C-alpha cells in the first residue's frame, strides 16, 4: 500500500530525548520546514493527475536496486505522444512524452540500445480532455497541451529518472493517434510513481541549509519519507547513488 511516512517520521523525531543526565527528558525540537514541499519555479502538478496505490521505497538507492535503468540529465523538451481508445465512442487517452538528455548514466544505460543516442523518451499521462458536445468524444483534445508541460517544467531543468522500456503492447486500447515520431531505434519508457525527481532552480537559489531543492515528480518526496530528503540538490542525489555503487 502507498505509505505516506512524513507524519510518522515527525512524530518519531519529536519523541527523541536528550542523553540521560539524571533529569527528566524533554522532546527534541523538530524542524518541520525541512519536510514541506515548497513552491518554486516548477509546476509538477501536471505529473500528478492520478493517485497510485503502491509500496513506497524509503530511499533513492532502494528504488535504484529494483529498477533496470537509472539516469540523470536535463529536460530536452516535450512532445506529443500517442492517444489510445479508452472505450467505444469514448474520449481518447493521451500521453505526453518527456525527453531527457542523459548526462549521468548511473545504471543500465550503456546496455540499453534505445538509449545509445543519449536521450530517454518517457511516456506520461497527459490528463483529462476538454469536453465539447459539438464534436465526437474521440475528437476532444487534452486540457493540458505540450506547451503547458514545457512551461511548467522547462527545457534545461535538471532531472533524475528510474525508467524501463515500455513493452510494444503496453498501451491499452487501439492507438488512434501515433503522436510525434521517435528517432529510429528509440523506445518509449515508463517510470514508477517515485521515478522522477527534479531540481527546482528557484529553490536551489533560495533554500536554507536544511531545505531541499529537489521536488518529486509523480509523487512528493514525502511519500518515501526522510531518506528522500537527505540529498538537498541534484548533485548530492547523484553523488549518493554513486556512493551506493550506481555509476557507469
The pTM (predicted TM-score) of the whole model is: 0.85
Identify the pLDDT of residue 226: 96
The closest of 76, 71, 57, 150 to 105, measured between CA atoms, is 71
CB 66 within 8 A of CB 181: no
Identify the pLDDT of residue 33: 57
Residues of the chain with pLDDT under 70: 1-35, 172
Identify the pLDDT of residue 241: 99
The pLDDT tens digits of the residues spanning 84-129 come to 998 988 999 999 999 999 999 999 999 999 999 999 999 999 999 9
Strand partners, 214: 199
For residue 27, what are the CA distances in angstroms to 9, 81, 121, 148, 201?
Answer: 14, 52, 48, 46, 35
Amino acid at each position: 500500500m502507498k505509505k505516506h511516512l512524513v507524519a510518522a517520521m515527525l512524530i518519531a523525531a519529536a519523541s527523541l530525548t536528550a542523553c540521560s543526565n539524571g533529569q527528566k527528558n524533554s522532546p527534541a525540537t523538530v524542524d518541520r520546514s525541512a519536510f514541506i514541499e515548497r513552491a518554486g519555479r516548477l509546476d509538477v502538478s501536471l505529473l500528478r493527475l492520478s493517485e497510485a496505490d503502491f509500496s513506497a521505497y524509503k530511499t533513492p538507492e532502494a528504488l535504484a536496486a529494483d529498477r533496470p535503468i537509472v539516469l540523470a540529465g536535463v529536460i530536452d523538451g516535450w512532445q506529443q505522444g500517442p492517444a489510445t481508445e479508452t472505450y467505444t465512442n469514448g474520449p481518447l487517452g493521451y500521453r505526453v512524452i518527456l525527453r531527457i538528455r542523459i548526462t549521468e548514466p548511473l545504471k543500465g544505460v550503456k546496455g540499453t540500445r534505445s538509449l545509445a543516442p543519449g536521450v530517454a523518451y518517457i511516456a506520461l499521462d497527459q490528463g483529462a480532455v476538454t469536453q465539447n458536445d459539438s464534436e465526437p468524444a474521440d475528437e476532444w483534445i487534452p486540457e493540458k497541451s505540450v506547451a503547458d508541460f514545457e512551461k511548467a517544467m522547462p527545457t534545461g531543468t535538471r532531472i533524475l529518472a528510474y525508467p524501463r522500456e515500455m513493452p510494444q503492447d503496453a498501451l491499452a486500447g487501439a492507438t488512434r493517434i501515433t503522436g510525434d515520431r521517435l528517432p529510429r531505434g528509440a523506445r518509449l519508457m515508463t517510470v514508477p510513481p517515485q521515478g522522477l525527481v527534479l531540481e527546482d532552480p528557484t529553490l536551489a537559489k533560495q533554500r536554507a541549509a536544511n531545505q531541499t531543492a529537489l521536488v518529486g515528480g509523480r509523487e512528493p518526496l514525502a511519500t518515501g519519507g526522510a531518506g528522500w530528503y537527505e540529498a538537498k540538490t541534484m548533485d548530492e542525489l547523484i553523488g549518493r547513488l554513486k556512493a551506493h555503487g550506481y555509476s557507469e
